[in-house]
Chain A
Amino acid sequence: MIGTGVLVRLALRRDRLLLPVWILVIVAIPVAIASAIAELYPDVGQRLALGATMMANPALQALTGPIFDPASVGGLTAWRATTFAAVLAGLMSIMLVTRHTRAEEESGRAELIGAAPVGRYALPAAAVIVTGLANLLAALLLVAGLAGQGLPLAGSIAFAGAVAGMGLVFTGIAAVTAQLTANARTANALAVAVLGLFFLLRSAGDASGAEAVSWLSPLGWAQRIRAFADERWWLLAVFAAVAVLLVAGADLLARRRDIGAGLLAARRGPAAASASLRSPLALAWRLQRGMLFGWAAGFAVVGGVFGALAASVGDIVGDIPQIADMLARIGGAGVLVDTFFATQLGLFALVASGYAVQAASRPRAEETIGRAEPVLAASVPRWRWLAGHVACALAGSALILLIAGLAAGLAHGLRIGEPATQATRIAGAALAQVPAVWVLAGITVLLFGLLPRMTAVAWAFLVAFFLLGQLGELLQIDETIRRFSPFAHVPALPGGTATATPFVWLCLTTGVLIAAGVAGFGHRDLKSD
């Protein structure tokens, strides 16, 4: 592994901005949550009341997992923050590993490095080391931050360990996916799909009370390390062992392939283009469809699983007498099922916004890498080239939400014996989220048109809206600030009432953002870096 040290320094130099931001976000969210809970719920009584309310809501359980100790600030922090921080650590690790392995090979830079006197596997080794260090640093800062809030040291260590453990497991998973495919985008997508699957397993397990299912997921372990509530320290060893096994597996795979190649051999393509590949829209569709199919399949599965769970939600809660009374007062188990769907669809909408941002960012990637140039040097107006990708982003995000809604409604409907009714009802509710999702596509297009180098900032908007929506109420953030998020304007459907006004406004906002972005793109230079 000669040269690994130099490559580690190279990676740190390249990520000197990105890495601190990731670590800061991973550390800041749990610390902010701990501080807010301590401030807003100072008495044990208040905390127990909060815990009881939250445990009564299976939709929230699906999102965050169980509460192990509602009496302590630490227990509530662990309940609310573990999933956030662990998912973020997983995403950071995926992004870092792919960026320093497969993306380097794809760009050809790995060849430049491979020709230097460095070990054959120094590049992946450096990526794993940098990512591991980033996770450890995040863990250290988390311990300092949480203990600094006055939380018990042992619990802080367990919490930080679970977050870093999750990061390390995904370091291994990304190291494996980077070996499987020749394309960095696909490598990232595979690893993120695994993360999504683990989230789904834990979520389904927690929402339905099937403990064993939750245990299949590292996110389940992160919860069940029971930080601040009689810690299970041995889970740290499980995280470490799984991470080591995955990295070893990646190493084995790396030895079986050539530089630049995936494990699957490249196939040949047609010698001539089909008659339909003749417009910028057709090109955009061709480039984006693979990703869209992947998202659609994921949303169909996730929608189906949650739909199938929905009917159980009333049953679980109905067993608890106090809650059953409360339920009867607010309108019965049907209301609970509707709330469950509304919460899940809100979450789907946030994830679908990820698709919208990704799809709407595609023109930036095409511009940077130099593939926009030959197209725009042909007889293609700039707006039409951009419109092709924007159309994919808008139609694609609507399509995946529709699929999720249909799958959820159908699964639920089959259980309660009215598939058609439920499918249309839940699909309709899912479509109600679409205008809010489109705003994110609009923001991306605006940034691309006016500040192309800042296109990725659209992700920051998505994260901010996510935090406002998921934590705004708990942290008692001012209503006017919360209404900056487009998702704050979507009515709670199914079950709630909807008027046309918010949809019109959201669509208008999207329209203005896109129009400004397209106009900006029409007036600026093409920038290839």
Chain B
Amino acid sequence: MSSEFAVLINGLTKRFGHVPALDGLDLDVRTGEVHGFLGPNGAGKTTALRVLLGLLRGDSGHAEILGSDPWRDAVALHRRLAYVPGDVTLWPTLSGGEAIDLLARLRGGIDPRRRATLIDRFDFDPTKKGRAYSKGNRQKVALIAALSADVELLLLDEPTAGLDPLMEAAFRECVAEERAAGRTVLLSSHILTEVEALCDRVTIIRAGRAVETGTLTQLRHLTRTSITAELAELPASLAGRPGVHDLAVNGNQVSFEVDAEHLDGVMRLISQAGLRSLICQPPTLEQLFLRHYQVSAS
């Protein structure tokens, strides 16, 4: 296959007993991009990553990673990628430094200078035994081991869960550097500001299938802009107009949300109604997610 896509998933399904975890998932990650992978808890993000790692085998559909079959070629593939699990468990008798070295060596080696830099950047004490680390510090072990590896692809499963804001900033810097170095990153995350700051493209999954995918601009386009305006007179046709939602009128002031494709028409309408002031808020990623998450909850 061409090297255009680092990860290519088509119609992937995976059931655990009677519970479907992946239900026809599609996902493509382009080589060299940072791809955000979002979804509510239990949507199937971790299952998808485990299939990509050959730890689970998909029931049907197609999954390809760096041009190879993740199940069949797992061992060779793992030399070319690094993984940070969402919940890192360490060996109680091994120190953090030992765990970093071991995991990196099992992948094929470690650059001692890069290891030292990362330990410094993440302000990590490698001499404690596995049991003594907090959640965030356990996460750092997996992060340092993964980031110090010279690989083409990073699979990160909620890697900043448990990190403090300073460490999160260090993590963002690292990911930016990885991208600059031409590496591909698949980042599963719940932290929307992180996704907005880092990701080129985003895929949102719900109940085991992708519901949205695209660049942030494209995704923003899919959602509503909120508008608060002060008008000379209230246009009668505003209420009930297609694309206008949650209209609230307070004297001369109106506030509502409008779908992207109706924005043009609605703006024309209110600009002819004696527009005195206008606050226009672009859609946040958060709104987009909430919309999808709430659908899944209902």
* A positions within 8 Å CB-CB of B: 106, 182-183, 266-273, 277-280, 283, 286-287, 290, 369-371, 373-381, 525-526
- B90 at the binding interface (Cβ < 8 Å): yes
List chain A residues, Cβ under 8 A from B192. Answer: none
Q: Digit string of B35-59 for contact with A (CB within 8 Å is 1, else 0)? A: 0000000000000001001011100
Distance of A41 Cα from B97 Cα, bound (Å): 66
Distance of A525 Cα from B51 Cα, bound (Å): 9
Q: Is A371 a contact of B127 with CB atoms below 8 Å?
A: no
Given contacts A271-B127, A377-B78, A379-B78, contact A371 B102 (CB under 8 A): no
Distance of A287 Cα from B98 Cα, bound (Å): 13
Q: Is A371 a contact of B55 with CB atoms below 8 Å?
A: no
List chain B residues, Cβ under 8 A from A278. Answer: 101-102, 105-106
Distance of A238 Cα from B55 Cα, bound (Å): 55
Of the candidates A279, A290, A380, the one whose C-beta lies within 8 Å of that of B78 is A380
Chain B CB count within 10 A is highest, among A280, A287, A290, A374, for A374
Of the candidates B53, B76, B128, the one whose C-beta lies within 8 Å of that of A269 is B128
Q: Is B55 a contact of A376 with CB atoms below 8 Å?
A: yes
Of the candidates A182, A269, A277, A370, the one whose C-beta lies within 8 Å of that of B102 is A277
Given contacts A287-B93, A525-B57, contact A272 B98 (CB under 8 A): yes
List chain B residues, Cβ under 8 A from A381. Answer: 74-75
Distance of A373 Cα from B47 Cα, bound (Å): 13
Q: Digit string of B86-116 for contact with A (CB within 8 Å is 1, else 0)? A: 0111111111111011110111100000000
Query: Could you list 24 A-B pairs, sorted by A, with CB under 8 Å?
Result: A268-B128, A269-B95, A269-B96, A269-B128, A270-B95, A271-B95, A271-B97, A273-B102, A273-B105, A277-B102, A277-B105, A278-B102, A283-B91, A286-B91, A374-B88, A374-B142, A377-B83, A378-B78, A378-B103, A378-B106, A378-B107, A380-B75, A526-B50, A526-B56
Q: Is B76 a contact of A273 with CB atoms below 8 Å?
A: no
List chain B residues, Cβ under 8 A from A290. Answer: 93
Distance of A329 Cα from B130 Cα, bound (Å): 63
Given contacts A182-B131, A268-B128, A377-B53, contact A286 B93 (CB under 8 A): yes
- B30 at the binding interface (Cβ < 8 Å): no
List chain A residues, Cβ under 8 A from B96. Answer: 269
Distance of A376 Cα from B76 Cα, bound (Å): 12
B107 (CB) vs chain A CBs: closest residue: A378
Q: Is B92 a contact of A269 with CB atoms below 8 Å?
A: no
Q: Is B131 a contact of A266 with CB atoms below 8 Å?
A: yes
Cβ distance B47 to chain A, nearest Cβ, rounded Å: 10
Given contacts A266-B131, A271-B126, A272-B97, contact A380 B89 (CB under 8 A): no
Q: Is B106 a contact of A273 with CB atoms below 8 Å?
A: no
Distance of A183 Cα from B108 Cα, bound (Å): 32
Q: Is A269 a contact of B55 with CB atoms below 8 Å?
A: no
B96 (CB) vs chain A CBs: closest residue: A269
List chain B residues, Cβ under 8 A from A375. Answer: 103, 106
Cβ distance B157 to chain A, nearest Cβ, rounded Å: 10
Q: Is B101 a contact of A272 with CB atoms below 8 Å?
A: yes
Q: Is B75 a contact of A269 with CB atoms below 8 Å?
A: no
Distance of A145 Cα from B10 Cα, bound (Å): 63
Q: Is B102 a contact of A266 with CB atoms below 8 Å?
A: no
A371 (CB) vs chain B CBs: closest residue: B89
List chain B residues, Cβ under 8 A from A526. Answer: 50, 55-56
Task: Tell me the interface secondary structure of chain A in the complex.
Answer: loop
- B85 at the binding interface (Cβ < 8 Å): yes
Cβ distance B193 to chain A, nearest Cβ, rounded Å: 27
- B179 at the binding interface (Cβ < 8 Å): no
Q: Is B103 a contact of A269 with CB atoms below 8 Å?
A: no
Distance of A87 Cα from B57 Cα, bound (Å): 44
Chain A CB count within 10 A is highest, among B78, B100, B145, for B78
Distance of A525 Cα from B47 Cα, bound (Å): 11
Task: For chain B, give the interface size range.
Answer: 35 or more
Distance of A287 Cα from B55 Cα, bound (Å): 22
Q: Is A269 a contact of B106 with CB atoms below 8 Å?
A: no
Q: Is A377 a contact of B128 with CB atoms below 8 Å?
A: no
List chain A residues, Cβ under 8 A from B92. Answer: 182-183
A380 (CB) vs chain B CBs: closest residue: B106
Chain B CB count within 10 A is highest, among A270, A277, A379, A525, for A379
Cβ distance B34 to chain A, nearest Cβ, rounded Å: 20
A368 (CB) vs chain B CBs: closest residue: B89
Cβ distance A260 to chain B, nearest Cβ, rounded Å: 8
Of the candidates A273, A369, A377, the one whose C-beta lies within 8 Å of that of B101 is A273
List chain A residues, Cβ under 8 A from B126. Answer: 271-272
Cβ distance A385 to chain B, nearest Cβ, rounded Å: 9
- B62 at the binding interface (Cβ < 8 Å): no
Given contacts A183-B92, A273-B101, A277-B98, contact A374 B132 (CB under 8 A): no
Q: Is B131 a contact of A377 with CB atoms below 8 Å?
A: no
Cβ distance A265 to chain B, nearest Cβ, rounded Å: 10
B95 (CB) vs chain A CBs: closest residue: A269
Given contacts A290-B93, A370-B85, A377-B78, contact A270 B127 (CB under 8 A): yes
List chain A residues, Cβ under 8 A from B91. Answer: 283, 286-287, 371
Distance of A273 Cα from B132 Cα, bound (Å): 17
List chain A residues, Cβ under 8 A from B94. Answer: 269, 273, 286
Distance of A267 Cα from B92 Cα, bound (Å): 11
Of the candidates A268, A280, A370, the one whose C-beta lies within 8 Å of that of B129 is A268
List chain B residues, Cβ under 8 A from A525. Answer: 55-57
B89 (CB) vs chain A CBs: closest residue: A370
Distance of A266 Cα from B106 Cα, bound (Å): 27
Distance of A369 Cα from B87 Cα, bound (Å): 10
Distance of A422 Cα from B101 Cα, bound (Å): 46
Q: Is A273 a contact of B98 with CB atoms below 8 Å?
A: yes
B106 (CB) vs chain A CBs: closest residue: A378
Give 10 nearest A-B pairs by CB, closest first. A269-B95, A273-B101, A378-B106, A273-B98, A377-B83, A379-B78, A271-B97, A378-B107, A370-B89, A278-B105
A524 (CB) vs chain B CBs: closest residue: B57
List chain B residues, Cβ under 8 A from A283. Answer: 91, 102
List chain B residues, Cβ under 8 A from A376. Answer: 53, 55, 74
Distance of A278 Cα from B88 Cα, bound (Å): 20
Q: Is A379 a contact of B108 with CB atoms below 8 Å?
A: yes
Distance of A268 Cα from B75 Cα, bound (Å): 33
Q: Is B129 a contact of A266 with CB atoms below 8 Å?
A: yes
Q: Is B76 a contact of A379 with CB atoms below 8 Å?
A: yes
List chain B residues, Cβ under 8 A from A280. Answer: 106
Cβ distance B124 to chain A, nearest Cβ, rounded Å: 10
Q: Is A379 a contact of B79 with CB atoms below 8 Å?
A: yes
List chain B residues, Cβ under 8 A from A377. Answer: 53, 55, 78, 83, 85
Chain B CB count within 10 A is highest, among A183, A268, A369, for A268
Cβ distance B185 to chain A, nearest Cβ, rounded Å: 16
A385 (CB) vs chain B CBs: closest residue: B106
Cβ distance A293 to chain B, nearest Cβ, rounded Å: 13
Q: Is A371 a contact of B97 with CB atoms below 8 Å?
A: no
